[in-house]
């Protein structure tokens, strides 16, 4: 296995991680931004007001995108395991 192979696997891993994390992170970001706008407009500074809606929104995002996330992870893992013999034969 060459340095280029390791770099390629690392890049693929980071791309899959970013794709898988994006729905949850973007949901938390959007809900947090909307809640902070609401808090700034009403001057209500209750910490649970920002925490509870984010937790609920992230849970909904996980329920909605969970099947896709699992599919992406399984596909990546299968492709990685399928490429192992090719990568090990190069040594």
What's the whole-model pTM score? 0.79
Q: Which of 4, 15, 13 is nearest to 87 (CA)?
A: 4
Parent domain of 75: 3-89
In order of 14, 29, 78, 80, 83, the CA distances from 6 in angstroms are 12, 32, 17, 11, 12
At which residue do the structure tokens 């909605």 appear?
Answer: 64
- pLDDT at position 91 is 57
- Number of folded domains that form the chain: 1
Answer whether residue 55 shows pLDDT above 90: yes
How far apart CA 37 and CA 1 sit, in angstroms, is 51
pLDDT value at residue 50: 82
């Amino acid at each position: 296995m060459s340095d280029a192979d390791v770099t390629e696997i690392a890049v693929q891993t980071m791309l899959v991680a970013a794709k898988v994390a994006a729905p949850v992170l973007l949901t938390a970001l959007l809900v947090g931004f909307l809640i902070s706008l609401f808090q700034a407009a009403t001057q209500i500074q209750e910490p649970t007001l920002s925490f509870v809606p984010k937790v609920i929104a992230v849970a909904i995002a996980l329920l909605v995108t969970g099947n896709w996330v699992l599919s992406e992870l399984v596909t990546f893992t299968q492709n990685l395991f399928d490429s192992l013999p090719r990568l090990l034969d190069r040594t």
